[in-house]
């Protein structure tokens, strides 16, 4: 399968196989008014299989959510059909306003104006916890 080159836009590369559609959903790429290609299970020498997302157009992407869903993703910024910037995404230390605490007793449930804040507690196991009640966050915690 051949997916064409983009002149200006963003390529999210080195996505773990099977996570491309999750990133598509959490980044709300379906709401964009530009072309988006999601390539699933592409052959990769390093990873065996990987997913790739190509977005024709420069948009604002939240790198924290990328790092939470799939640390290790490479963001390539394309201008005039050339990569002008390449950034490897790591786990963010803190995530604010992107995840929602599931604990019904958390202060964020009662105090609606409080932002949901999660901190990285265990980098090896990619564990984030609410700073108010210590509830663990997972992919379903994404608002």
Q: What is the pTM of this model?
A: 0.81
Alpha carbon distance 19, 50 (integer Å): 9
**The pLDDT of residue 55:** 92
Which helix (H) or strand (E) segment is 64 a member of? helix 63-69
**The pLDDT of residue 134:** 96
Summarised one tens digit per residue, pLDDT across range 66-107 is 888 888 899 999 999 899 999 998 899 999 888 899 999 999
**The pLDDT of residue 126:** 86
Residue from 141, 109, 107, 106 nearest 126 by CA: 141
**The pLDDT of residue 143:** 64
Tens-level pLDDT at each residue, the chain (143 residues): 566 788 899 999 999 998 899 889 888 888 888 889 999 988 888 889 999 999 998 888 777 888 888 888 999 999 998 999 999 988 999 998 888 999 999 999 888 889 999 999 998 888 999 999 999 987 766 76
Alpha carbon distance 88, 102 (integer Å): 30
Domains of the chain and CATH, by start: 9-88 (3.30.70.140), 94-141 (2.30.30.20)
Tokens (6 digits) for 78: 């394309």
Alpha carbon distance 73, 130 (integer Å): 24
């Amino acid at each position: 399968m051949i997916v064409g080159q983009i002149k200006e836009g963003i390529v999210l590369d080195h996505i773990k196989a099977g996570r491309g559609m999750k990133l598509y959903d959490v980044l709300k790429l379906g709401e964009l008014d530009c072309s988006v290609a999601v390539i699933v299970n592409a052959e990769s020498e390093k990873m065996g299989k990987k997913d790739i997302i190509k977005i024709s157009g420069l948009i604002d992407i939240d790198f924290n959510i990328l790092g939470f869903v799939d640390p290790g993703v490479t963001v390539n910024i394309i201008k005039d059909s050339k990569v002008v910037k390449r950034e490897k995404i790591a786990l963010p230390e803190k995530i604010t306003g992107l995840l929602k605490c599931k604990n019904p007793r958390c202060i964020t449930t009662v105090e609606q104006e409080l932002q949901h804040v999660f901190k990285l507690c265990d980098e090896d196991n990619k564990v984030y916890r609410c700073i108010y009640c210590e509830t663990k966050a997972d992919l379903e915690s994404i608002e």
